[in-house]
Amino acid sequence: MKRIGDNMTGHTSPEGFRHLVGPDRVHRDLYTDPGVYAVEQARLWTHAWVYVGHESQIPAVGDYYTTEIAGQSLIMLRKSPQEVTVLMNRCAHKGSQLVHEREGNCGKMLRCPYHAWTYRLDGSLLSIPLKNDYEGTNLSSCPSGKGLSSPGASMNYRGFVFVRISEDGPDFTSYFGEALATLDNMVARAPDGELSVLGQPLRSRIDCNWKLYLENVNDTVHPISTHESAASAAKEVAQNLPENGDTVLAMEQLLPFGAGYSFYSEMGARVLPHGHSVLGTKFSIHTGYAPLQDYQMELEASHGQEAAQQILQFSPQNTVLYPSLAAKASPMILRVLRPLAVDRTLVEIWAFAPKNAPARLRQRAASYARLVFSPMSVVAHDDVHLFESQQRGLLCSGNEWLSLHRGYQDSEIGQASASMDSGNNEWVIRNQHRGWLELMGGAA
């Protein structure tokens, strides 16, 4: 097992990280070095804005949802009917976690199971046993006397809850910028502006570095080969369906995977600062989904005809909100990444729908999640096999580099945002690594 400093460049310093990210290639240690992973956890994942969850996961006061970011346990908690807060899952007394379930309801207060210190839903200290024994001590001036800690910053953006664990770092809107348009679009697709998660997510642990998964979100050249069997099986089934039958949802969603290189090339893409991107700025494999008449009329009634059409037309293949999130506006799906180790990643697939959405719209998101993103599906198992294969292949000696040369031109260096004609240009992936370098403190 390698340790910090065991590698050829000794890259645990900003200068070292610069050696790992070339203009058109990246070093394999980015994915295989536990030392690099440790610094990522301490630096990148604490300074970036990271997705926690959606407020619809915790509808009632006292509802909570826990997750782990950068090795730190967090509680997303409904503290009032209108307000959600994020607290560190760490008792102010001696550090026990306050809640141990992934989700639940804590009632009117959080009560530590160890010595029964209690906290209000905003995290302030409510009561401690044997209070008199603390008289004359310095507890009240100690952080332990002040209640629960919070992350450096948190933001409930239209129902999507994010945190930045560190006190320092960019503010939320300048960090995500244009990338927020995809979340806006998801909300706009709800006639009454309210979205809801469709139950529990699909969770899978994949034996690969998190960056291999996130790169693939912007990899338009792989479906033609990786998903060839799924696309041809779907085509065969489609040919045997009765003519003029209802569009079969699975076919509608799987057939576009068989599109050729030129389809992906023509969809266009946009790179944004800090590693974010929008793939499929002109159209995507989701653009051709059959219109849902009643839903469309409802949307037109709330937004007006022209605006409703624009909302429905915007359906990029994937928007990356670096580093934790990949979003699809249609079908409404968020993929959430939680690195577990240098070679292990938890992926959560959350399907969404407008509250009171027609059944077909709900089915569209749930069906896509199952068909394409479940590791048991005909699509994702091909991807997962290759992510794990990459992780093993990268350990081979010889070539230490991953090529990201496709479409590279020197003129892209220094361009924080840009649109490109070809969705096949690996700029959208190179851009993730430039975001990585910046968050690791290595940007020039």
When the beta carbons of 147 and 258 are compared against ligand FES, the nearer one is 147
When the beta carbons of 128 and 439 are compared against ligand FES, the nearer one is 128
Region of 354 (left: φ > 0; alpha: ψ -120 to 50; beta: rest) is: beta
Residue 383 touches which of Fe ion, ligand FES, none (Cβ within 5-8 Å per kind):
Fe ion
When the beta carbons of 115 and 381 are compared against Fe ion, the nearer one is 381
CA-based torsion, 181, 182, 186, 191: positive or negative: positive
Per CB under 5 A, does 215 bind Fe ion? Answer: no
Residue 2 touches which of Fe ion, ligand FES, none (Cβ within 5-8 Å per kind):
none
Please list every residue from 83 through 112 that binds ligand FES, using CB under 6 A: 91, 93-94, 96, 112
Omega prior to 191 cis, within 30 of 0: no
Q: Which amino acid is at 207?
A: D
Calculated CA dihedral for residues 373, 377, 383, 384, nearest 10 degrees: 90
The stretch among 45-53, 108-116, 229-237, 376-384 that binds Fe ion (CB under 5 A) is 376-384
Min dist. Cβ of residue 383 to Fe ion (A): 4
Q: Which amino acid is at 372?
A: V
DSSP state of 96: -
The stretch among 114-122, 164-172, 315-323, 409-417 that binds ligand FES (CB under 6 A) is 114-122
When the beta carbons of 95 and 304 are compared against ligand FES, the nearer one is 95
Min dist. Cβ of residue 143 to ligand FES (A): 14
Q: Which long-range contacts (CB under 8 A, 24 or more apart) does 69-74 make?
A: 69/45, 69/163, 69/165, 69/324, 69/338, 70/41, 70/42, 70/45, 70/46, 70/165, 71/41, 72/165, 73/97, 74/151, 74/163
Structure tokens that stand for 225 in this block: 């080969």
When the beta carbons of 50 and 87 are compared against ligand FES, the nearer one is 87
Min dist. Cβ of residue 119 to ligand FES (A): 10
Out of 33, 383, 426, 438, name the contact with Fe ion by CB under 5 A: 383
Min dist. Cβ of residue 94 to ligand FES (A): 4
Q: How many residues bind ligand FES (CB under 6 A)?
A: 9
Distance separating alpha carbons of residues 247 and 217, to the nearest angstrom: 27
When the beta carbons of 215 and 383 are compared against Fe ion, the nearer one is 383
Q: Which of 307, 288, 60 is nearest to 191 (CA)?
A: 307
Going by their DSSP bridges, the two strands 118-119 and 110-111 should be labelled as antiparallel
Min dist. Cβ of residue 230 to Fe ion (A): 9
When the beta carbons of 64 and 263 are compared against Fe ion, the nearer one is 263
- 269 to each of 77, 275, 281, 335, how far by Cα in Å? 36, 13, 5, 19
Per CB under 6 A, does 134 bind ligand FES? Answer: no
DSSP state of 44: I
Residue 235 touches which of ligand FES, Fe ion, none (Cβ within 5-8 Å per kind):
none
Q: Which of 44, 53, 77, 80 is nearest to 164 (CA)?
A: 44
Per CB under 6 A, does 117 bind ligand FES? Answer: yes
Q: Which residues bind Fe ion (CB under 5 A)?
A: 383
Judged by the rule CB under 6 A, the positions of this chain that interact with ligand FES are 91, 93-94, 96, 112, 114-117
